[in-house]
Structure 1
Amino acid sequence: MIAELNRLVAYVEDRLTDDLDVTALATGFGTTEYHLRRMFSSLAGMPLSEYVRRRRMTAAAADVIGGGELLGIAVRYGYGSTEAFGRAFRSVHGVGPGDVRRDGGPLRTQPQLRFRLTVEGNITMDTRIADRPAFRLVGHAARVPLIHHGANPHIQAHIAALPASEHSRLRDLGDGEPAGLLQVSDDVDPDYAEGSELTYLHGVAITDGTHVPEDLDVIDVPAGSWAVFRTEGEYPGALQSAWAATATEWFPSNPWRLRPGPSIVAILDRAPDFSTATCELWLAIERA
């Protein structure tokens, strides 16, 4: 995966002024756009789209300082107007093209990325592969922003709004695996950009034949393989660290890749104040 990501960076660099066909590139690498984007975001700390924008504006800054018509520069980098180009330029550099042309800066450069894998073996990942038939996830769903670190207050508010009796009803309804009350993230932006919206469902897994009450939301999950990572410790810190380690440690070392599908967290045990917890993180995978 590290080699493919470096080839992706080189591909971006060669086509800073062209449209990028990431789907075709991923196919040529023998992987999928979904997996390539998710791994890039996890390891680079930014979405691929954001990296491309920063690199384009880094290159465009040299053209702006060098003179030439701003509209021509804007069109060269894929913008239909100087206004749109100016907004993108300002979002990266903090100042407009005119300011940079007059003063020579300030400029915020995005260096070209290089991915390297450091094998330390200091993280033991308790993992199993589960092959599951089709099942359904049912519960209460809401659209919330993605937050990478710390508790998500939007999710907390969504769960807090449910009465205690509803949690009991959901537990009684669940008859499938993953077992227990689940935290489900679905319809996530392929770049996994922080602040992008996802569907969060607080619910349970049921088998295909189980009746679903009309007031519950449903996510149908097709049959497939899952990587199940068990975590113990500070919540949600240990879980988020394990999630990051799947990209840095597990996927580069195993013949699997992510496939589209919900991400599921099952809370197996927790402290009364939820400061610590034992969890299972379920990620949809397929053979690489």
Structure 2
Amino acid sequence: MPSLAKTAAHVTMLQRSPTYLVSRPDVDRIANRLNKFLPAMLAYRITRWKNTNMQRFFYRRSRKKPEDVKKFLIDSVRKQLGEDFDVERHFTPSYNPWDQRVCLVTNGDLFSDMRKGRASVVTDTVANFNETGIETGSGEQLDCDIIITATGLSMVTLGEVEFTLDGAPIDFADTWSYKGLAYSGVPNLSSSFGYVNASWTLRTDLICEYVCRLLNHMESIGAVECTPRLRPEDAGMPERAWVEGFTPGYMQRHMDRMPHQGDRAPWINPQDYAHDRKLFRKSHVDDGVMRFR
């Protein structure tokens, strides 16, 4: 919205339901100060540690005391838009923080545009499209020149590529997730999926490091194939959703087509950076589950 509002006469966001918003600057002042006095790599590592742990604290706080975090986020929006704005209707979700991702508003630009009258938010449903715009479910008419749709998104498995094994199609819904990066019974295949509760690239970086360790190990033993396989003790393992505690529709609509998550390592898809850092960097590649040939 803020980018559109720079040149449009007015931008209206029509949303079916609100999401949590948090405003943060796009410049890290602490990082900039560290870079003035410390070597670049050391400053980078300290900044990365700071940001990672701040996000981790915020997420854990949201899980343990959701009402406190909810109040903090909503009060922050109210400070931006004023007491007269209907924050309860337009910026108070029905779910707890981090049940779905929290939206970052850089430098408060969205709120600034709303205060200046360049942008607005309407919380309603679409009844129909007509000659001049949209009629909402409550009967309000939103006249507009251009409509940009941004709804109905659904996750897909591996880009909907049709994989086969020995001529038979692979149904990933019948597999178990190995460390959240590979699939039981499927050889030489790894995929990268980040965090739903933190920076996406934190986990993708770790997965890339692990895959490099895996490839180096295969080269050292002369293996050309690696396949995660269930152990005898994994028989009858309870099935869990591939990602738990995360409720957006674009995930839930596709969850039945994703691999299962078990109740024990390595058949889990953890969403915890501290846990994953040890798992991907320190754990043995040849763990008795990943089979080499």
Normalised by the length of structure 1, the TM-score is 0.28
Kindly name which structure, 1 or 2, has the bigger radius of gyration based on alpha carbons: 2
The structure whose residues are more often strand, as a share, is 1
